[in-house]
Amino acid sequence: MIAIATWNVNSIKSRLAHLLDWLRNEKPDIVLLQELKCINENFPAMEIEDLGYNLAVHGEKTYNGVAILSKFPLSDIQKGLPGDDTDIQSRYIEAVVNLPGAAIRVASVYVPNGQMTDSDKYQYKLRFLNRLHAHFKTLLTYDEILVVGGDYNIAPTDDDVHNPKLWQGSVLTHDDVRSAWRRMEYLGMYSAFRIKPAGDTRFSWWDYRAGALERDDGLLIDHLLLSPQAADRTQSCFVYKNLRMLEKASDHTPVIAMLAA
DNA sequence: ATGGTTGAACCTCAA
């Protein structure tokens, strides 16, 4: 079994102790990280490599930043989401993980939050999702085992929201972004948690504000999207809530898929 | 308390 996790750490520097403990205890094979909030030079590569991981890092000062950690060798590393050369934000990284006798293409994506539906950032989010759709269309022609994990900043249905009324029309639940999500599904990308849910936790993110965690005011916005070849191998998908319960936690917690391999 | 917290970097922005 191969464990593939996605986790928005909200600053790799602030979350390093949590990350290292988790890697030591759970030993996920592949980890897709978002919101590093650091440039490549400041990424704590040695500490993570010491635990047996190979790295691909696409950092940025202050904001964004994505990375791939893998127990197996990486090749064909690509940084940046195709489709707009003027977009310099570090929100996408892709690589091939070379398992013995098999290869898995993986990517870590940090979809823009969008802030407010009347903001320019929301338009950027919708354009980004269009580019992601186009890229998935290309990737699916490869007929590979493909896993794209990340913070999609989309709660695909009201089942993914603790209190749907409270979140109605927000940038995380708006019809526009849900429609964009479904377009990716219709291409043939399957949500791991949708097809093989396991465990008791339905959400992956709780706001720091207003006691959201205490009220379980959570949303499932971190997802692992799978090609048909990856979906066939997926045995289960669950949220690892422990990391949200710690002192100085990220506001997101890992989502993990188990693939037969 | 016209909402609250966290992180990075700056005296505010993004989430």
Q: What integer is the mean pLDDT of A146-150?
A: 98
In the 118-177 segment of chain A, residues within 7 Å (Cβ) of strand B are 121
Q: Which nucleotide C1' is nearest A15 CA?
A: B7
- Taking the CA of residue A215 and the C1' sugar atom of nucleotide B1, their distance in angstroms comes to 19
DSSP per residue, A80-111: S-TT-TT-----EEEEEEEETTEEEEEEEEE-
pLDDT of residue A134: 98
Q: Which nucleotide C1' is nearest A205 CA?
A: B15
Assess whether pLDDT exceeds 90 at residue A48. yes
Q: Which nucleotide C1' is nearest A247 CA?
A: B6
Q: What integer is the mean pLDDT of A9-31?
A: 97
pLDDT of residue A234: 98
Q: If you measure CA to C1', which residue is closest to nucleotide B6?
A: A208
Q: What does DSSP assign to residue A252?
A: B
- Taking the CA of residue A217 and the C1' sugar atom of nucleotide B4, their distance in angstroms comes to 13
Identify the band that residue A261 occupies on the pLDDT scale cut at 50, 70 and 90.
confident
- Taking the CA of residue A177 and the C1' sugar atom of nucleotide B1, their distance in angstroms comes to 33
Each residue of A213-250: pLDDT tens digit?
Answer: 999 999 999 999 999 999 999 999 999 999 999 999 99
Q: If you measure CA to C1', which residue is closest to nucleotide B1?
A: A210
Q: What integer is the mean pLDDT of A124-146?
A: 98
Q: Which nucleotide C1' is nearest A62 CA?
A: B8
The reply to whether A112 Cβ lies less than 7 angstroms from strand B is yes
The DSSP H or E segment spanning A175 is helix A175-187
A125-162 burial, b at 16+ Cβ within 10 Å, e below that, comes to bbebbeebbebbeebbeeebbbbbbbbbbbbbeeebbb
Pairing between β-strand A102-110 and β-strand A145-151 as defined by DSSP bridges: parallel
pLDDT of residue A253: 97
Q: If you measure CA to C1', which residue is closest to nucleotide B7?
A: A11
Q: For chain A, give the mean pLDDT.
A: 97
Assess whether pLDDT exceeds 90 at residue A45. yes
Q: If you measure CA to C1', which residue is closest to nucleotide B10?
A: A62
Identify the band that residue A35 occupies on the pLDDT scale cut at 50, 70 and 90.
very high
The percent of residues in chain A predicted with pLDDT above 90, rounded, is 99
pLDDT of residue A76: 98
